[in-house]
């Protein structure tokens, strides 16, 4: 039953190179074909019953106010205390969709006039999809110094010059009570 097994010389060769090559190719393919989802957050402020949380800048300088009203045919921008850009202007929709590029460019001009202001008040005259609201928030929030031009501000505390990288990130959604009750009537 117990046979003596003759020990043969090592003739076993595991060639791993092609296997590893296959794995490398497979991994590259997986990395390139996989879609990764990154979730980020957009701030939304509600002026409801929170008067103490009014933006700091607004309390310091009540002469500046920037309003955005979404209407059926366009977006109305109303600026107070923005120098030559003060007043009301309308950005008409293009093919029924908001012209976010023109809106963004207009806000960049206002930002250059008042770089230390961060608050924008939003209201809607009609009901709209949530996606349009997010697109508006995106257009009013982000500032690309390379594309939009550099906006520099001096920090009053230490005198350092800083490069602004946000537009109007404090997005206050107004008209909750009236619009929620009957969005068709608006304000």
Partner 1 sequence: MSMFGKKIRRREQDFYLQITSLIDTLVIILVFMLMTVGTGSVNLEMASNIALPWAHAGAELPQGVKLIAKLDGIYLDQEKIVPMKDGVVPGDAVSEGGKKIVGLFQKMAKLAAESKKAADESKLKFEGKVLMQADKAVPLKTVKQVLYTSARAGYNDFKFAVLKQ
What residues line the site for partner 1 (CB under 8 A)? 9-14, 16-17, 20-21, 23-24, 27, 31, 36-46, 48-50, 53, 124, 127-135, 137-138, 141-142, 173, 175-177, 179-183
Give the shortest CB-127-to-partner 1 separation in angstroms. Answer: 5
Give the shortest CB-153-to-partner 1 separation in angstroms. Answer: 20
Q: Are 102 and 90 in contact (CB under 8 A)?
A: no
Give the shortest CB-77-to-partner 1 separation in angstroms. Answer: 19
Give the shortest CB-186-to-partner 1 separation in angstroms. Answer: 11
C-beta of 6 vs 131, nearer to partner 1: 131
The answer for 13, left when phi > 0, alpha when psi is -120 to 50, beta otherwise, is beta
C-beta of 17 vs 158, nearer to partner 1: 17
Q: What is the DSSP letter of 123?
A: E
The first and second tokens of residue 19, run together, are 């296997």
Q: Which long-range contacts (CB under 8 A, 24 or more apart) does 158-167 make?
A: 164/111, 164/115, 166/118, 166/141, 166/142, 167/104, 167/107, 167/108, 167/111, 167/140, 167/141, 167/142, 167/143
Give the shortest CB-125-to-partner 1 separation in angstroms. Answer: 11
C-beta of 81 vs 133, nearer to partner 1: 133
C-beta of 64 vs 123, nearer to partner 1: 123
C-beta of 1 vs 31, nearer to partner 1: 31
Cα–Cα distance measured from residue 170 to residue 54, given in angstroms and rounded to the nearest whole number? 10
C-beta of 11 vs 155, nearer to partner 1: 11
Q: Are 119 and 168 in contact (CB under 8 A)?
A: yes
The partner residues of 166 in beta bridges, in order of sequence, read: 142
């Amino acid at each position: 039953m117990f046979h003596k097994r003759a020990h043969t010389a090592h003739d076993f060769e595991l060639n791993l190179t092609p296997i590893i090559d296959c794995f490398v190719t497979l991994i590259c393919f997986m990395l390139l074909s996989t879609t990764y989802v990154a979730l980020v957050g957009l701030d939304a402020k509600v002026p409801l019953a929170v008067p103490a949380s009014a933006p700091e800048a607004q309390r310091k300088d009540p002469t500046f106010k920037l309003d955005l009203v979404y209407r059926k045919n366009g977006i109305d921008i109303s600026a107070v205390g923005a120098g030559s850009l003060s007043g009301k202007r309308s950005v008409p929709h293009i093919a029924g969709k908001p012209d976010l590029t023109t809106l963004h460019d207009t806000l960049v001009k206002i930002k250059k006039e008042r770089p230390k202001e961060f608050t924008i008040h939003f209201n809607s005259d009609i009901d709209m999809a949530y996606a349009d609201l997010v697109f508006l928030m995106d257009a009013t929030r982000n500032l690309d110094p390379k594309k939009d031009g550099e906006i520099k501000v001096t920090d009053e505390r230490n005198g350092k010059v800083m490069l602004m990288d946000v537009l109007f990130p404090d997005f206050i959604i107004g008209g909750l009570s009236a619009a929620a009750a009957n969005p068709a009537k608006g304000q």
